[in-house]
Structure 1
Amino acid sequence: MDAKKFKSPFRMHEDVVYLAEMEIGEQQQKQYLMIDTGSSLVWTQRYDYQPKFRMVFGCAHQERIALTTVKDCTGILGLDRKTRFSYCAPPRMPSISRRDSWLHFGSHAQISGKKVPLVIRWGKYYLTLTAITYKYNILMSPVPVIAYKSRKDYLHTMVDTGPSLQTLPSSSHDDQLKEIDAIIKSENVVKAGTSSWPRHSYLGTMDNVKDITVTLSFEGAANRVDDSSKAILGMFAQTTINVEYDLLRGEIAMDPIRCAR
């Protein structure tokens, strides 16, 4: 069977979400679906679809953001029912993010990089975060921001392509920000005590931060997943990385490569 039938192009849209391009129906109508490893739902709009607001969907009772916020998005491609797939998301750079990359399925999934065990709970994928380190130049050794000392302290982290941003519990997030503040040494223009997002925005240029790298270290997930864990590895943290899921073996592999074709 032709390998093209096992892959789908996808790219960033409106600088916020990654959509896969698919052709559905006898007349091959193009649809642009948000790829979501945190969902089992596969849904797309019919041709005469009209957005309906203030409607309960699934188990939600309050929706503030609709799929139609991203005008090209016509549905969701949940990826928790596949046996094997891989994706490689281009970075958020104007010259690259508009290029297509590929979402591969089945035997054509791209396998590379170190593999670690993956835990699947409630149709979602989890890894165990063991440490967060940073460097502010290429010569220095990694400095730990957070280093969990025992397995019971490890942070269960959901790998999710739906949200864009990385989410950490308040304590871990605050510790990381303190280190970043000390490195950047620029004025935070957001007023103290504000409840809006973002809470940290600095005066300066990208030259001030171009050498700063933050590394998240994972190992095989535990058999038990903490229901209260609020850690999410969103899509922006997965850019320029080939991410491969082998659900039959319960493994995930990540390999930094150039993603856009």
Structure 2
Amino acid sequence: MSKHFKIFTLALATAFAPMLAGAEEQTANSSTVVATVNGTQITLGHMAAARSGLPEQYLQLPDDVLYNAILDQLVNQTILADRFEGEVPGPVQRRLENERRSLVASTVIEEIVEEKLTEAVLKAAYDEKYASAAPDKEFKAAHILVETEEEAKALVTELEGGADFTELAKERSTGPSGPNGGDLGWFGKGMMVPPFEEAVAKLDDGAISGPVQTQFGWHVIKLSETRLANKPSFEEVKAELESELFNTVIEDEVARLKKLGTIELSAEGDIDPAILKEDILLTE
């Protein structure tokens, strides 16, 4: 358990202490002062920031318990920090610098996304990806899954002799769809493992495949029906488009800033990369 969580656990022990009086709830905001410790103000903004960094299990606590625990944590940290005298040690200062750099960079990324990934940009990406693209096919199929190729061949022979596919699936399939007659419902590109998908794509509606091997075993497949997939609406794929474009816009902006900035790196080979494993770098 880290030192930070030990302090938080200490706070939980006193979580039911009376809440300090603060600004009225109607006017409370991030600047509302909830405690003053040796002249240092602790605000609701500080508390919200502390809450946002907690593991999920702590967020399940009742609101009043968590409120008091966070407040106690921040009061305890402030008291302890006030005890410190002298210059901040190098390792602590470097962690503070890294944390500040990370937080500010995250803020800039949010600004870039807001500026670059506008509704118009996303709709243009939607049109480019879906408007003129040929619709994919979707398949409605059933299968019988068995362990060996010999069993699969025997099933094909029985089906060619007039056996009912649904009944054979119920009796012999080892897959989870067996009790349902092997029915897989509708599925599209990428939803099945490649050998299965490739075999289905070669079948005509109503046809039955020969034995098809996948990592799950041997399949005999019946294709019931084929249709063209409907084009998704913009709202349905908006989040997907944002995700696809996110890395591109950030990488482009980083590349632009690097061209405008000045970056000097140590010559390759001057520093042994393995030195980062040395504990002394964290303590000196």
Normalised TM-score (structure 2): 0.18
Instruction: Identify which of structures 1 and 2 has the higher relative contact order when contacts are C-alpha pairs closer than 8 Å and 6+ apart.
Output: 1
Which has the greater radius of gyration? Answer: 2
